Amino acid sequence: MTAEFTERDIHLALDGELPAERLNDFGAWLEANPDMKIKAARFDADRQRLQSALGPVAYEAVPGKLTEAILGNGSDLLGMSSWWRGAIAAGLIVAAAAGGYAVGVTGGPAGIARASDPVAERAVAAHRIYSAEKLHVVEVGADQKDHLIGWLSKRVGTTLQAPDLTPEGFSLVGGRLLPSGEKVAAQFMYQDYSGNRISLYVTQTAGSDETGFRLFENADARAFYWLDGGFGYAIAGAVPEATMEAVARAAYRQLLPGAAKS
Amino acid sequence: MDEKRGAILAELPRLRRYARALVRDRDVADDLVQDCIEKALTRMEGWQSGDNPRRWLFTIMHNLFVDQLRRVKRRGVSVSYEETGGSALVTEPSQLNNIAAREVLQALQAIAPDRRSALVLVAVEGLTYAEAATVLGIPAGTVMSRIARGREELRKELEDASRRRTIRVVER
């Protein structure tokens, strides 16, 4: 018996659309066609990867605004709301017990909102290069902080400050001057107690665009950045997003008034 | 009425997951879910109790997503990182899982939206081709071909990603 299949059937089989009685023949066809077998295995592996990346989203806590959108404030719904709320809470506990795996994709300029600013990309690139340095992480160390800030302020063309990130667990290592397109950029490097590094990158931008607080991600590093008053600011690093966000917000708060002066 | 609200509530986790597959940004995805709920609530009269709420809700969400894509195409948008503080409940997975998950989600965003939605409905949400066809408003044969192309695109994106990963400077 020579049952004929095509690549199309790989998808049908994977998606449970191939009639059960044809599965044996399909298996035999795969055995006889190693190329197709490899392809089928690859699609299967990709699907599993997709499932394990997205699966946990269903176990995250559902934001209150969504349950409220359905239930109103719940007062007029006679105990039903509390029943459902209870069920959702129970689901949460199960998810936590199962290991609390959740994908850290709380935000990102991906997909439909991909446009990023060169400031963010340059900050991430510069961070990768210098945070990996053991001996020459910075040009001027934090022991000469005043000199460092004065020098970089003069070169970048605005009154810079190295934000105090100690409440977030990061202390200043120092800084350096970098090229940024045709202009220059200042990089301040910070480090936490276990050696994780994040950097603040500041450069002059071409336009006077202003943005809110944005996240740029590529591969495994990310930057929170904003443009303000002709300057671009980015906090880059590869630490967990929640940590990055806390640090970036602290820096943002401290830098915004300073930036407005220039 | 309450029975229907309960049914929508029970679908929330899956609606959120589907939304997150469509638009990766968590806040944008939850906004999409909220729009979907609001639209669903205004249409509850037209929904028969016996009907599968999942298919009904996914259809509403899909149509909203298509509208959104059209708007974005017209304007061109960069996402703003709103101060929602919503990330507090997200626990970080182990580093390895994190990279694998991140890569596949990034790859998913890189493929064409119509292929992305077909692939996710079937491969993640477990809909049949016929169900996905209803949600997407296209023939089942088109679902099949979008999935096939989507899988090819995804594979290519993932191969590119792993190539980039091998040449990247390793931190720390």
Q: Are B105 and A103 in contact (CB under 8 A)?
A: yes
User: A132–B170: do the CB atoms touch at under 8 Å?
Assistant: yes
User: In A, residues 150-189, which contact B (CB 8 Å cutoff)?
Assistant: none
- Residue of chain A nearest B140, judged by CA positions: A17
Q: What are phi and psi of B91, to 5 degrees?
A: -90, 145
Provide mean pLDDT across the span A59-70.
Answer: 84
Model confidence at A75: pLDDT above 70: no
Write the residue in B79, B93, B120 that is nearest to A102 by C-beta. Answer: B93
Name every residue whose Cβ is closer than 8 Å to that of residue A168 and which is 6 or more positions away in sequence: A243, A246, A247, A250
Lowest mean pLDDT among A36-40, A185-189, A194-198, B12-16: A194-198
- CA gap A258, A152 in Å, rounded: 14
Same domain, A119 and A71: no
- Residue of chain B nearest A14, judged by CA positions: B123
A-B contacts (CB, under 8 Å): 238
Which amino acid would we find at residue B10?
Answer: A
* Least Cα separation, residue A154 to chain B (angstroms): 30
User: B172–A195: do the CB atoms touch at under 8 Å?
Assistant: yes
Name every residue whose Cβ is closer than 8 Å to that of residue A86 and which is 6 or more positions away in sequence: none
Name every residue whose Cβ is closer than 8 Å to that of residue B155 and which is 6 or more positions away in sequence: A42, A43, A46
Same domain, A135 and A187: yes
- Residue of chain B nearest A96, judged by CA positions: B91
Q: Are A222 and A260 in contact (CB under 8 A)?
A: no
Architecture of domain B92-172: Orthogonal Bundle (1.10)
Same domain, A44 and A64: no
Model confidence at B102: pLDDT above 60: yes
Model confidence at A102: pLDDT above 50: no
The CATH number covering residue A241 comes to 3.30.200.100
Write the residue in A70, A80, A113 that is nearest to B77 by C-beta. Answer: A113
Q: Is residue A2 included in any domain, yes or no? A: no
Per-residue pLDDT at B17: 92
User: A70–B9: do the CB atoms touch at under 8 Å?
Assistant: yes
- CA gap A123, A210 in Å, rounded: 18
- Residue of chain B nearest A84, judged by CA positions: B6
Q: For chain B, say whether A51 makes contact (Cβ under 8 Å).
A: yes
Model confidence at B133: pLDDT above 70: yes
**Torsion of Cα atoms, A204 then A207 then A213 then A216, to 10°:** -80
Residues in A touching B10 (Cβ below 8 Å) = 84, 87
Model confidence at B10: pLDDT above 60: yes
Q: For chain B, say whether A206 makes contact (Cβ under 8 Å).
A: no
Same domain, A251 and A132: yes
Q: B41 or B75: which carries more pLDDT confidence?
A: B41
Q: For chain B, say whether A8 makes contact (Cβ under 8 Å).
A: yes
Please identify which residue in the block is written with the tokens 């559902």.
Answer: A62
Residues in A touching B12 (Cβ below 8 Å) = 62, 66-67, 70, 88
Model confidence at A2: pLDDT above 70: no
Provide mean pLDDT across the span B135-145.
Answer: 94
Per-residue pLDDT at B79: 43
Residues in A touching B98 (Cβ below 8 Å) = 103-104, 220
Provide mean pLDDT across the span B61-68.
Answer: 91
Q: Where are the domains of chain B?
A: 1-76, 92-172
pLDDT band at B121 (very low <50, low <70, confident <90, very high): very high
pLDDT band at B151 (very low <50, low <70, confident <90, very high): very high
CA-to-CA dists, residue A113 to A94, A216, B77, angstroms: 34, 10, 5
Lowest mean pLDDT among A56-60, A164-168, B62-66, B145-149: A56-60
Provide mean pLDDT across the span B46-55.
Answer: 74
Q: A196 or A36: which carries more pLDDT confidence?
A: A36
- Rounded to the nearest integer, the mean pLDDT of chain B is 80
Per-residue pLDDT at B4: 77
Q: Is residue A102 included in any domain, yes or no? A: no
- CA gap B134, B111 in Å, rounded: 22
For residue A14, give both structure tokens.
């994977």
Q: A219 or B125: which carries more pLDDT confidence?
A: B125
For residue A250, give both structure tokens.
């602290």
Structural domain that includes position A229: 111-261
Cβ atoms < 10 Å from Cβ of A93? 9
* Least Cα separation, residue B50 to chain A (angstroms): 19
Q: A37 or B77: which carries more pLDDT confidence?
A: A37
DSSP code for A3 = -
Same domain, A19 and A66: no
Which of A69, A97, A125 finishes a domain?
A97
Q: Is residue A76 included in any domain, yes or no? A: yes
Residues in A touching B8 (Cβ below 8 Å) = 70
pLDDT band at A174 (very low <50, low <70, confident <90, very high): very high
Indicate if ipTM > 0.85.
Answer: no
Test mutation, A5, A46, A117, chain B, max B CBs within 10 A: A46
Same domain, A87 and A194: no
Q: Is residue A106 included in any domain, yes or no? A: no
Rg of chain B over all Cα atoms, to the nearest angstrom: 18
Test mutation, B144, B171, B172, chain A, max A CBs within 10 A: B171
Residues in B touching A11 (Cβ below 8 Å) = 144, 147-148, 151
Per-residue pLDDT at A257: 56
* Least Cα separation, residue A163 to chain B (angstroms): 20
Instruction: Render pLDDT for A232-250 as a digit per residue (tens, 0 to 9).
Output: 999 999 887 778 888 888 8
Same domain, A137 and A40: no
Model confidence at B82: pLDDT above 50: no
Q: Is residue A103 included in any domain, yes or no? A: no
Residues in A touching B101 (Cβ below 8 Å) = 49, 52-53, 103, 105
User: B34–A220: do the CB atoms touch at under 8 Å?
Assistant: no
User: In degrees, to the nearest 5, what angle opens at C-alpha B11 toward C-alphas B136 and B139?
Assistant: 15
Per-residue pLDDT at A219: 66
Per-residue pLDDT at B73: 62
Provide mean pLDDT across the span B102-109.
Answer: 90
Same domain, A69 and A177: no
Same domain, A44 and A65: no
- CA gap B64, B99 in Å, rounded: 30
Question: How many distinct structural domains can be found in chain A?
Answer: 3
Same domain, A201 and A231: yes
Instruction: Render pLDDT for A8-56 as a digit per residue (tens, 0 to 9).
Output: 999 999 998 998 888 889 999 999 999 999 999 999 999 988 988 888 8
Q: A15 or B1: which carries more pLDDT confidence?
A: A15
Per-residue pLDDT at A168: 80
Same domain, A254 and A127: yes
- CA gap B172, B165 in Å, rounded: 15
pLDDT band at B36 (very low <50, low <70, confident <90, very high): very high
Name every residue whose Cβ is closer than 8 Å to that of residue A36 and which is 6 or more positions away in sequence: A5, A7, A10, A29, A30
- Indicate the helix (H) or strand (E) that contains A13: helix A7-14
Q: What is the CATH number of domain B1-76?
A: 1.10.1740.10
pLDDT band at A212 (very low <50, low <70, confident <90, very high): confident
- Rounded to the nearest integer, the mean pLDDT of chain A is 78
Instruction: Render pLDDT for A105-161 as a digit per residue (tens, 0 to 9).
Output: 233 333 223 346 788 888 988 998 888 888 888 999 999 999 999 999 999 988 898
Comparing C-alpha atoms, which of A20, A125, A229 is closest to residue B171?
Answer: A125
Same domain, A153 and A235: yes
Q: For chain B, say whether A43 makes contact (Cβ under 8 Å).
A: yes
